[in-house]
Amino acid sequence: MRSSARIRSIAYGANLEVPPERLRLDPLLVDAVAHWNAVYGAIDSLELDSGPYEGWARTQLLDPASPPNVEGLAVARKLNEIRRCYFWFFQPNADDDYKSPTLCPMCQEPLSAYDEGLFPQLLCASDSLVLEGGYYRDDDDDEGS
């Protein structure tokens, strides 16, 4: 099942997704995750396509109050009752002018750096959000200089 693609349970130290079958989820919750994943995945694909829908899709992905994010956050809250879960919040980190956010897009409080995983991440524990970040896009350029 791929429905946990962006609703992640971060095992601190391992920083990996937890296979949904290990959580023994109620079938209604599995359906909720699968529905959200299908809707979010469609919008994410439109953003990646770089076609006429890219701007609209990006607006949806970056807006915490957009329907796919509201639905995803609601599913993440239900999963949090079973196991600690963070909602992976979209960031346009492939953009040339990308700068990691410093504030949570939900509560506007400072994000906490989490550097023990596979790549730098930013967390908001109170809103259960995780964002890729903690660096600037041009940091990669500095390594080759």
Looking at residue 15, its pLDDT comes to 56
Q: Strands, E, within the chain: which ranges?
A: 7-8, 86-88, 112-114, 121-124, 129-132
Q: How far apart are CA 1 and CA 9, in angstroms?
A: 15
Task: Report the alpha-carbon distance of residue 145 to residue 140 in Å, rounded.
Answer: 10
Tokens of 126: 């109170």
Domain boundaries, the chain: 7-143
Q: What is the full per-residue pLDDT of the chain (145 aa) written as tens digits?
A: 334 444 544 444 445 666 767 778 888 998 998 899 999 999 999 999 988 999 999 999 999 999 999 999 999 999 888 888 889 999 998 888 888 899 999 999 999 998 777 778 899 999 999 998 766 544 455 544 4
Q: Output the pLDDT for position 70.
A: 96
**In whole angstroms, how far apart are CA 111 and each of 54, 122, 123, 126?**
27, 6, 5, 10
Phi-psi region of 25 (alpha: psi -120 to 50; beta: other; left: phi over 0): beta
Q: What pTM did the predictor assign?
A: 0.78
**Contacting residues for 77 by C-beta, under 8 A, at least 6 apart:** 128
